[in-house]
């Protein structure tokens, strides 16, 4: 009996997750899985009904700072898949950060500017800047394009939907100083789901 966590337990989310899990199980590669999942992900971004306002709210004192809310919608029991909404208030921006897992990321509400970096010899180099609007999405295949930051450019909060193959809010990942390239370990956490009570990043992380 699976004890996957459907925090937003609705037929839309269950059907989407079932499709994703089937696609991942049947695919020979992350790229192939993402290709199969794309149409369902596009539908999720186009459907303005399924995500309650609760998960479109900013969160003061969040792990990302700036009132940025990370709302868990679904997590697999084994930590190999998560679906969450990231809410970024107007003019707020995330730290430069990585994700450490492949998946799909798309904008559901509002507009964002995104800056993508590569890190070489310890320094960050800006490689791409792109403007995103609702409905835009991309597949993420780390380490390619895994380091970025986003800033909300709309008058209202932006909401992006993340489908990633880890428990992104709870894994130790990295934030980066854009000037020096220095990295720091962080866990962003979720506003509405707990992580294991691990107090320090793993050795050598
Ligand atoms: Fe991100």
pLDDT (tens digit per residue) in 164-195: 999 999 999 999 999 999 999 999 999 999 99
- The pLDDT score that the predictor gives to residue 87 is 98
Q: Other C-beta atoms within 10 Å of 6: how many?
A: 14
Cα of 114 from ligand 1 centre, angstroms? 9
Read off the pLDDT band of 3 (50, 70, 90).
confident
**pLDDT, tens digit, 9 for 90 and up, residues 130-145:** 999 999 999 999 999 9
Cα of 3 from ligand 1 centre, angstroms? 27
CB 55 within 8 A of CB 71: yes
Cα of 63 from ligand 1 centre, angstroms? 13
Cα of 149 from ligand 1 centre, angstroms? 6
Half-sphere exposure of 168 (CA within 13 A, CB side): 28
Read off the pLDDT band of 201 (50, 70, 90).
confident
Q: Other C-beta atoms within 10 Å of 121: how many?
A: 6
* pLDDT of 198 over the 80 cut: no
Read off the pLDDT band of 196 (50, 70, 90).
confident
**pLDDT, tens digit, 9 for 90 and up, residues 82-114:** 999 999 999 999 999 999 999 999 999 999 999
Distance CA 187, CA 173 (A): 6
Average pLDDT for residues 46-63, to the nearest whole number? Answer: 95
Lowest mean pLDDT among 59-63, 66-70, 178-182, 200-204: 200-204
pTM, entire model = 0.94
- The pLDDT score that the predictor gives to residue 199 is 66
Cα of 35 from ligand 1 centre, angstroms? 20
Average pLDDT for residues 64-88, to the nearest whole number? Answer: 96
Distance CA 101, CA 163 (A): 10
Kindly report the backbone phi and psi dihedral angles of residue 120, in degrees, each rounded to the nearest multiple of 5, phi listed first. -135, 135
Cα of 1 from ligand 1 centre, angstroms? 32
């Amino acid at each position: 009996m699976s004890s996957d966590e459907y925090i937003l337990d609705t037929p839309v989310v269950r059907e989407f997750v079932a499709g994703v899990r089937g696609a991942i199980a049947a695919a020979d590669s992350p790229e192939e899985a993402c290709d199969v999942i794309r149409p369902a992900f596009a539908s999720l971004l186009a459907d303005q009904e399924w995500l309650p306002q609760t998960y479109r709210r900013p969160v003061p004192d969040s792990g990302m700072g700036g009132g940025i809310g990370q709302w868990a919608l679904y997590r697999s029991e084994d930590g190999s898949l998560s679906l969450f909404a990231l809410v970024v208030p107007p003019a707020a921006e995330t730290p430069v950060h990585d994700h450490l897992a492949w998946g799909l990321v798309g904008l559901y509400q509002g507009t964002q500017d995104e800056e993508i970096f590569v890190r070489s010899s310890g320094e960050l180099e800006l490689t791409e800047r792109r403007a995103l609007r609702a409905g835009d999405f991309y597949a993420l295949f780390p380490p390619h394009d895994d380091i970025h930051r986003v800033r909300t450019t709309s008058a209202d909060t932006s909401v992006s939907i993340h489908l990633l193959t880890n428990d992104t809010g709870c894994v130790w990942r990295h934030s980066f100083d854009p000037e020096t390239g220095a990295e720091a370990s962080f866990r962003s956490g979720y506003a509405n789901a707990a992580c294991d009570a691990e107090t320090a990043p793993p050795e050598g992380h």
